[in-house]
């Protein structure tokens, strides 16, 4: 199907959903009817294998149209967000940005962030899977789930972090195949919390980029504060050391 036709069909589907009665899944959340197990969206992980994270309570798997989230009830943020990018998906990306944040109804209220948590906090709602990566209007709408957000310094979000996101898309456009991207927060002991539900504010953000065609992997690492610049990437092994997460099944370089 041609890219323009895919967009037309996706737009028609979204329009129909929003015109449906208020009892529809979309009326509560654009993501409510989607799967909640990584086994149902293996396409977002290299080799179909999700990252191996240290055992913790309150972790829930969420699948979306264009990304997958491991969500933490303790932080009320993602542990990580996984995407699969390639030239076709980037070329299909819709430049018209949605801007309707929502709390994902698939998460219990006791585990999720709400819109009021960010209100007046001084932090932006920072996408982990960027809106600019989304290939369809429905995927764009889903990217505004608060399950895909962390409290992010607004200057960092619109400055160096935005550049990292754009550079990653540019790389995916040049790549010969799929590029797997995993993004997430890193917290420090006693980290700040915002809002009535205590959403944790990360000290750092990371973005792992893995080119499945070349086998190369690297990661961007940013402190979540103003005044940062885009620094040289770190190695995959260093990212694993800093996060304690095996993202690519025991890869050591």
Give the active site residue among 49, 71, 127, 213. 127
| Helix or strand run (H / E) with residue 152 | strand 149-153
Instruction: Give, as one character, the DSSP assignment of residue 145.
Output: B
Is 49 among the residues known to form the active site? no
Are 224 and 205 spatial neighbours (Cβ–Cβ below 8 Å)?
yes
CA dist list (Å): 73 to 26, 90, 174: 23, 32, 37
Got the DSSP string for 33-87?
Answer: TS--SGGG-GGGSGGG---B----TTEEEEE-SS-EEEEETTTTEEEEEEEEE-H
Q: Residue 166 in 3-state DSSP?
A: helix
Q: CB of 59 within 8 A of CB of 79?
A: yes
Dist. CA 124–CA 202, nearest whole Å: 12
Region of 37 on the Ramachandran plot (φ > 0 left; ψ -120 to 50 alpha; else beta): beta
The residues carrying an active-site annotation are 127
């Amino acid at each position: 199907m041609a890219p323009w036709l895919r967009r037309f069909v996706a737009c028609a589907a979204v329009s129909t959903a929003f015109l449906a009665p208020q009892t529809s899944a979309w009326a509560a959340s654009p993501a409510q009817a989607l799967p909640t197990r990584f086994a149902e969206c293996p396409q977002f992980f290299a080799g179909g294998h999700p990252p191996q994270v240290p055992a913790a309570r309150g972790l829930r798997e969420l699948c979306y149209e264009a990304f997958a989230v491991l969500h933490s009830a303790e932080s009320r943020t993602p542990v990580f967000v996984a995407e699969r990018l390639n030239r076709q998906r980037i070329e299909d990306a819709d430049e018209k940005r949605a801007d309707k944040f929502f709390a994902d109804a698939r998460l219990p209220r006791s585990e999720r962030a709400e819109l009021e948590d960010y209100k007046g906090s001084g932090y932006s709602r920072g996408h982990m899977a960027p809106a600019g990566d989304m290939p369809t209007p429905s995927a764009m709408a889903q990217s505004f789930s608060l399950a895909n957000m962390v409290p992010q310094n607004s200057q960092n979000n619109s400055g160096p972090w935005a550049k990292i996101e754009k550079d990653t898309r540019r790389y995916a456009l040049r790549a010969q195949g799929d590029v797997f991207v995993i993004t997430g927060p890193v917290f420090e002991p006693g980290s700040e919390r915002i809002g009535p539900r205590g959403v944790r504010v990360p000290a750092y953000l990371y973005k792992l980029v893995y080119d499945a065609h070349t086998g190369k992997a690297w990661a961007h690492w940013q402190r979540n504060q103003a005044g940062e610049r885009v620094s040289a990437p770190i190695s995959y092994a260093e990212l694993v050391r800093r996060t304690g997460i095996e993202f690519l099944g025991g890869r050591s370089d």
